Structure formats: structure tokens, C-alpha cells
Chains A and B, each alone.
Chain A
């Protein structure tokens, strides 16, 4: 079955040549679905699809799949984030089928943070597959209609297959080869780590273009607005694989506390505007961590509104 038949709205928007806009919502630490619906309600008219994170930072939450189903029932397009930390190949394939049974058509294949960062540091991890192999698994299930064990799947999943890329982690020299590897594994769209070091991102993008990778997968640039100078410093110093240049921290610290949130939004909008000019950037992934109400403003001020609705 050809990938062209995948009924993903996100895919259609990208195929039509529009700049796509995605965002993400973290599920609640409880079973009340109102929290996730409220977040989705805030942003649904300003984005094409909403990622639901999968026990991010290894903190136990309502599961990504259930939250995606809530979105789907609201008429919002979800992207199922799936980490390989907590489930073996039986559970991963089973959840993919579960998602497909609700016609969830986007999936983001991830490794997942180590459990040491979360609320169960004494727990086991699984890592039966890695993120690269999960991409291969979804493609096998979709394109060949087969399980990893070789048996045929009745009504194979129809999913647009994504993965993350971090242009800023080390070693830098394999960051583009790693992207190439994910593309070779079958990834179709990429959402990048939050971009604050635009120069370095542009260098990564140039190296990707030199290998023609920007034509083999849609690359959505990841952005996260800072709420405060404290958050900028925290991201710079504490979050593994994050690259926040000094001048950005300085800019946040240089404005009075009550104006820092506005400055964070300004930086985010300016970044999007600059990134729009980078050849190969096909859209944006706005990760407004517990600040979803600001997503509409960021999208509008970046000239990305209204969203295409004729697809």
C-alpha cells in the first residue's frame, strides 16, 4: 500500500506545500480527561495536528494513546508519541493497532528519556527496539501489512511516520548521518528539538540539504517559548542535549521580570520568522510546555494563521 493513501491531514498539508504547524500537549497526572480536552480546545484552530507526549521525562501520566483518542473524538488530529522505553515489541505493535482502530494517522517514534529522571527511577526499562527500529516496524506494518513475526495484519495501520531529531546533541558530526539513518529506516517527517541556536541549526540544515535529505522527509522546526529568564537558564544548564546561546539568556535576563514572558514570545516569533527562510524547513512544531494558551498568539504573530482548511 502506498504512503500516499495515508489519510493524515498533517501529511496532506505538507504534500500540498503549506508550512505545517503542530503543537504538543502533555496528558494529566490523573484520569480526568477534561485537562487534555481543555488544552486541545485552546489550540485546535491554530495547529494541524497535536502531539500527545508519552510519559515525558519518565513521569507517569495518563497514556498517550487514550489522550489521542480523546482528541480524535473531538475532531482534532492527534500525533501519537510512542517511546520504546516502556513496552516490548508485542506491546508496541499492539498499541499501534489500537491507535489504528481509532484511525489515528500520525505517529512519532522516540527512544524516551531514561526512567531515572521520572517518578519511578527504580523501575525496569525495556528498550527491546530502539527508535530507529520502531520506525521500521511501523513501516513494515503499514506498507507490507505484516507483524514483525511475519503474519499478515487484517486492516493494517495507516500512519504517517515521524521521529525526532536533535541537531544540537553531541557528537555534532553524526547529527546529519543520524537523520539520514532515520530516513533510511523509513521516517517521513521530523520534529526537531527546540531551536535556540539558529546558526547551528542552519548549519545542520545546510548539511542535510547537501545530502538532499530535506527532500526525503518533511522537517518541522521545533520551538519553545521561554516563560522567564529562569527557564532559559534552566534549559541551558540542566536539560541534556539543549543548546541555548548566552545572548538569548542575556536577552531574557535583560528585561524586567513582568515583561520576560512577553520577551519569550517575541524571541519565539522572531525565530519562526527567521526559520521560515531556511530552505528545507517545512513547518513548525511549537512546544509551549504547560503554556498552551500562548500557541494561538505565536501562530498568528508568525503569519501562520489561518491554517489551511480546504484539504
Chain B
């Protein structure tokens, strides 16, 4: 899923303090799972903002809604008939949802309520960690199912570097060395000899470096 984290309330206030009628829009997908932008967080943020405006002596109307997704037309369309009532929208979706909302409702100011962090997993409740950077050319088959691009601080394709110590990364003793994980798993799979295969220079053009990306599937287009 896409993992996001809450923005500090001060930053949100600074963005929306001059509007009179606000709509806070949650998303029922990834940001609900990582407890940053679902229905529950929409409610908490709305209460915090109402309290702030009340203390400031300002009259601001705040409505709440949580859509199934903000990255698909059909769910965003649910706002079509009401959007003009609002001075601004505060979207608690990831950056994808915020942008799709802004594209769709061109004349309405849209602000982000979360910081979008990465594609990752729930390690345990309250702990999420990165697993994928969407390089567009998956090589997990060569690295025992562990991604050196997203999990090595130097994204070394032929690691580990000399800073790997007791299974941890040189930049943080709480961070696993991705190459230690790869080697441990290659060993478990009886494939440690694969380690000596040099992974060739990567084509990064399918990654961010190649510019904004698009997948077009003629076979499923309507």
C-alpha cells in the first residue's frame, strides 16, 4: 500500500486558516490502513480544526466525507454536485488522490492533509516500512525476493557495502542491511552461489529518471 503520515496540525492550519467553508475528504484505501487519512482521522482532524477556529473566534464550517478511493474517477465524481459549496478541500488521501482531486475540480483549492511517504507494509500496528520504489523493472527474482533498490540506503545492486555491521545498515543501527537479508535468504534457498553473479548496470529510464510514467494497456482499454 501507499503509506502516509499525518501532517502537523500547525501546518494544516496555516494552509486553511483563511477559508470559511471547508470539506475534509478521507480515503478508504491505503491511508485508512496506515491510519493517516481514513474516516477516523478525518473526524479527529475536523474536531481539532473546529476547536482551533472556535478559540480564534472564527466562524468556519467544516464538513467531512470519506470516499472509497480518491485515485478513481467514479468515486471522486461523488463530490461533483456539492463541491462548489466549499471554499477549499483538505484531502487526506495520498499525493495521488490530492492531485486527482485538483485535476478534477479545477477551480477549487485542494490542500494535502498528509505527507505521502512510500510504498510499504504494516510490520505491526503503528509500524510501516518501505518495500518498493516502483522502478518499473522488477528484479526481485535475482535478489531472493528482497529489493536492494528500496531497502539499501545506497541502492547497491551488488552489495553489501563495507558499512554493513552485524546485519545492520551503516546509516542506522535499527535498519536491516538489505544485502544481509538477501544473503540470508539465498542461503536458506540453497542459492548462495547466485550471489557471485554480477547484476548489470540498470536501465533507470523506467524509474523516476525517465520522467513521469504511464502504463497503457490496449488489451483492457474500453
Residues in chain A within 8 A of chain B (CB atoms)? 85, 89, 111-114, 116-117, 125, 127-133, 136-137, 148, 164, 166, 169-171, 173-174, 177-178, 180-181, 184-185, 193, 240-241
* Structural contact, A111 and B161, CB atoms closer than 8 A: yes
* Structural contact, B154 and A127, CB atoms closer than 8 A: yes
Whole-angstrom distance between the Cβ of B93 and the nearest chain A Cβ: 26
* Structural contact, A174 and B183, CB atoms closer than 8 A: yes
Residue of A nearest to B180 (CB): A171
Q: Which of B154, B164, B171, B180 counts the most chain A CB atoms within 10 A?
A: B154
Interface residues of B in 142-199 (CB under 8 A from A): 153-167, 170-171, 177, 180, 183-184, 192, 195-196, 198
Residue of A nearest to B152 (CB): A127
* Structural contact, A128 and B204, CB atoms closer than 8 A: yes
* Structural contact, A169 and B154, CB atoms closer than 8 A: no
* Structural contact, A193 and B162, CB atoms closer than 8 A: yes
Q: Would A130 and B196 be within 8 Å (CB), given that A111-B161, A169-B164 are in contact?
A: no
CA A226 – CA B28 in complex, angstroms?
Answer: 59
* Structural contact, B157 and A133, CB atoms closer than 8 A: yes
Whole-angstrom distance between the Cβ of B161 and the nearest chain A Cβ: 5
Please tell me the size bucket of the interface on B. 20 to 34
CA A122 – CA B176 in complex, angstroms?
Answer: 21
Whole-angstrom distance between the Cβ of A120 and the nearest chain B Cβ: 14
* Structural contact, A170 and B165, CB atoms closer than 8 A: yes
Whole-angstrom distance between the Cβ of A81 and the nearest chain B Cβ: 14
* Structural contact, A164 and B156, CB atoms closer than 8 A: no
CA A171 – CA B179 in complex, angstroms?
Answer: 9
Contact partner, B198, options A114, A132, A174, Cβ 8 Å: A132
* Structural contact, B154 and A125, CB atoms closer than 8 A: yes
Residues in chain B within 8 A of chain A (CB atoms)? 153-167, 170-171, 177, 180, 183-184, 192, 195-196, 198, 200-201, 204
Q: Which of B161, B183, B196 counts the most chain A CB atoms within 10 A?
A: B161
* Structural contact, A177 and B165, CB atoms closer than 8 A: no
Q: Which of A130, A169, A171 counts the most chain B CB atoms within 10 A?
A: A130
CA A129 – CA B167 in complex, angstroms?
Answer: 23
* Structural contact, A241 and B158, CB atoms closer than 8 A: no
* Structural contact, A133 and B201, CB atoms closer than 8 A: yes
CA A30 – CA B195 in complex, angstroms?
Answer: 42
Contact partner, A185, options B155, B165, B170, B198, Cβ 8 Å: B198
* Structural contact, A130 and B195, CB atoms closer than 8 A: no
* Structural contact, A127 and B163, CB atoms closer than 8 A: no
List A contacts of B153 (CB < 8 A).
114, 116
List B contacts of A170 (CB < 8 A).
160, 164-167, 177, 180
Given contacts A113-B163, A114-B171, A128-B204, 16 further A-B contacts (CB under 8 A): A112-B154, A114-B154, A116-B153, A130-B154, A137-B201, A170-B160, A170-B165, A171-B180, A174-B160, A177-B195, A180-B196, A185-B198, A240-B164, A241-B163, A241-B164, A241-B165
CA A279 – CA B136 in complex, angstroms?
Answer: 47
Task: List 9 interface pairs A-B (beta carbons < 8 Å), by A numbering.
Answer: A113-B170, A128-B204, A129-B201, A170-B164, A170-B165, A177-B195, A240-B162, A241-B163, A241-B164
List A contacts of B200 (CB < 8 A).
133
List B contacts of A125 (CB < 8 A).
154
Residue of B nearest to A168 (CB): B162
Q: Would A241 and B162 be within 8 Å (CB), given that A170-B167, A170-B180 are in contact?
A: yes
Residue of A nearest to B162 (CB): A166
CA A193 – CA B167 in complex, angstroms?
Answer: 18
Contact partner, A181, options B162, B163, B166, B196, Cβ 8 Å: B196
CA A173 – CA B159 in complex, angstroms?
Answer: 13
CA A109 – CA B192 in complex, angstroms?
Answer: 25
Closest A-B pairs by Cβ, 7 of them: A166-B162, A240-B170, A132-B158, A240-B163, A241-B162, A130-B156, A169-B162
List A contacts of B195 (CB < 8 A).
174, 177, 181
List B contacts of A129 (CB < 8 A).
201
Residue of B nearest to A132 (CB): B158
Whole-angstrom distance between the Cβ of B190 and the nearest chain A Cβ: 14
List A contacts of B180 (CB < 8 A).
170-171
* Structural contact, A111 and B170, CB atoms closer than 8 A: no
* Structural contact, A114 and B158, CB atoms closer than 8 A: no
